[in-house]
């Protein structure tokens, strides 16, 4: 097993991929990097029909012991992808090229999963990450989630917002969370739902808490102290906290239900002080949280990756 490599999927220009790369090296293993950003321009890859016939830059990777997936940079709009020029020149051709590229790259990760490589996190779970599905998986497992409506139907939105003090946010991502005000429920405003559906959710007024779970264990929980509804642009202070046992158990269970070996999940308390789960992120960033709160997340993550070498 010891010749099975640890693979980092992502570019080393990404500080998170680099941190894991360096952490694994510091533990005495030289990881293989699948730098998806260099593919196909500068990274030769050859796949054969056998599951383990994956050759990257001339090296047959076989069955990795473990795989850390930062990103495959799958879409022209993904973080770390610069496709502006190519899209301007020929969006159709660029989109098709992205699909060719991402079909091959996804297949590599799926093969490794199928071969039994411990993957942080498996791309076969992408449907479980899809937010309007993720929350129902949690709900169906009996875990606490906020009342939520995803819709483009003005009548349904008005009914939901008359029952709940609500926020709205994107279905998939890309914009901040805002409180629903009376002016958001006018005909003109709701007519905008014809352009795209929106997520409406019970407002959770409690503190934002980020919980990191690795291999079924809460590694740390961090409270983000802020006055703003969406903490990201307005962080004030981040501090490590102890979760009570029941909440910690719910977080571990949530990671298990969604199928994530590694996750940074967002939880927030409702007006009764009861934590509800907002989301589980499959490739959660950790550097900012480590730095601000003085916690160690990459250490346990690298330990987990390396542990599979002797498994
Ligand atoms: P993402 O981080 O993927 O964009 P989240 O669901 O975590 O999506 O929402 C981003 C942030 O917006 C949360 O961390 C929180 O600060 C705020 N937020 C989201 N949903 C609610 C809610 N129901 N009530 C209050 N604040 C919310
Ligand atoms: Mg979030
Ligand atoms: Mg998220």
Nearest to 284 by CA among 305, 261, 256, 303: 261
Do residues 259 and 219 touch, judged by C-beta distance below 8 A?
Answer: no
Residue nearest (by alpha carbon) to ligand 1 atom 3: 173
Assign 297 to helix, strand or coil. Answer: coil
Nearest to 148 by CA among 125, 132, 124: 132
Do residues 33 and 12 touch, judged by C-beta distance below 8 A?
Answer: yes
DSSP 180-216: --GGGGSHHHHHGGGT--EEEEE---S-EEEEEEETT
Query: Each residue of 82-106: pLDDT tens digit?
Result: 888 888 888 888 888 889 999 999 9
The two structure tokens encoding residue 176: 């901040």
Assign 202 to helix, strand or coil. Answer: strand
Do residues 131 and 91 touch, judged by C-beta distance below 8 A?
Answer: no
CA atoms within 13 A on the CB side of 214: 19
What is the C-alpha separation between 235 and 227, in angstroms, rounded? 9
Q: What's the CA-to-centroid distance between 174 and ligand 2, angstroms? A: 11
Residue 3 has pLDDT above 60, yes or no: yes
Q: Which of 233, 266, 289 to mutate to test the pocket of ligand 1 (most atoms within 8 A of CB)?
A: 266
> Quick check: ipTM above 0.90?
yes
Q: Give residues whose Cβ lies within 5 Å of ion ligand 2.
A: 266
Q: What's the CA-to-centroid distance between 174 and ligand 3, angstroms? A: 10
- Percent of the chain scored above 90 by pLDDT? 81
Residue 2 has pLDDT above 60, yes or no: no
- What band does 311 get if pLDDT is binned at 50, 70 and 90? low
Q: Compute CA distances 10 → 1, 36, 122, 260, whole Å.
A: 24, 6, 14, 18
Query: Each residue of 13-33: pLDDT tens digit?
Result: 999 999 999 999 999 999 999
What is the C-alpha separation between 224 and 222, in angstroms, rounded? 6
Averaged pLDDT score across all residues of the chain:
93
Q: What's the CA-to-centroid distance between 161 and ligand 3, angstroms? A: 23
Quick count: other Cβ atoms within 10 Å of Cβ 25?
A: 13
Query: Is the beta carbon of 185 within 6 A of some atom in ligand 1?
Result: no
What is the C-alpha separation between 132 and 273, in angstroms, rounded? 24
Residue nearest (by alpha carbon) to ligand 1 atom 11: 230
Query: Each residue of 184-234: pLDDT tens digit?
Result: 999 999 999 999 999 999 999 999 999 999 999 999 999 998 766 665 666
Query: Is the beta carbon of 283 within 6 A of some atom in ligand 1?
Result: no
What is the C-alpha separation between 126 and 302, in angstroms, rounded? 23
* Least confident among 15-24, 161-170, 228-237, 286-295: 228-237
């Amino acid at each position: 097993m010891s010749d099975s490599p640890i693979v980092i999927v992502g570019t080393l220009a990404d500080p998170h991929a680099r941190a894991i790369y360096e952490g694994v090296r510091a533990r005495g293993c030289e990881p293989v990097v699948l730098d998806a950003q260099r593919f196909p321009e500068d990274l030769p890859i050859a796949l054969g029909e056998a599951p383990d016939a994956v050759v990257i830059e001339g090296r047959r990777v076989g069955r990795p012991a473990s795989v850390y997936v930062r990103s495959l940079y799958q879409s022209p709009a993904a973080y770390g992808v610069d496709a502006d020029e190519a899209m301007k020149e020929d969006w159709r051709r660029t989109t098709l090229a992205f699909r060719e590229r991402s079909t091959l790259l996804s297949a590599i990760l799926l093969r490794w999963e199928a071969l039994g490589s411990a993957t942080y996190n498996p791309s076969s779970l992408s449907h479980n990450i899809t937010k309007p599905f993720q929350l129902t998986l949690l709900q169906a497992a009996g875990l606490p989630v906020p009342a939520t409506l995803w819709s483009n139907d003005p009548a349904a939105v008005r009914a939901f917002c008359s029952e709940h003090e609500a926020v709205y946010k994107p279905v998939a991502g890309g914009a901040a969370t805002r409180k629903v005000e009376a002016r958001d429920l006018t005909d003109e405003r709701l007519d905008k739902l014809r352009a795209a559906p929106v997520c409406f959710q019970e407002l959770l007024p409690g503190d934002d808490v980020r919980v990191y779970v690795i291999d079924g264990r809460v590694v740390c929980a961090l409270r983000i102290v802020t006055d703003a509804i969406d903490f990201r642009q307005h962080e004030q202070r981040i501090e490590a906290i102890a979760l009570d046992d029941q909440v910690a158990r719910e977080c571990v269970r949530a990671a298990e239900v969604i199928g994530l070996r590694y996750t940074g999940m967002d939880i927030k308390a409702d007006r009764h002080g009861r934590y509800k789960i907002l989301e589980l992120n499959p490739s959660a960033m950790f550097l900012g949280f480590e730095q601000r709160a003085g916690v160690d997340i990459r250490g346990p993550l690298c330990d987990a990756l390396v542990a599979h070498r002797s498994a």
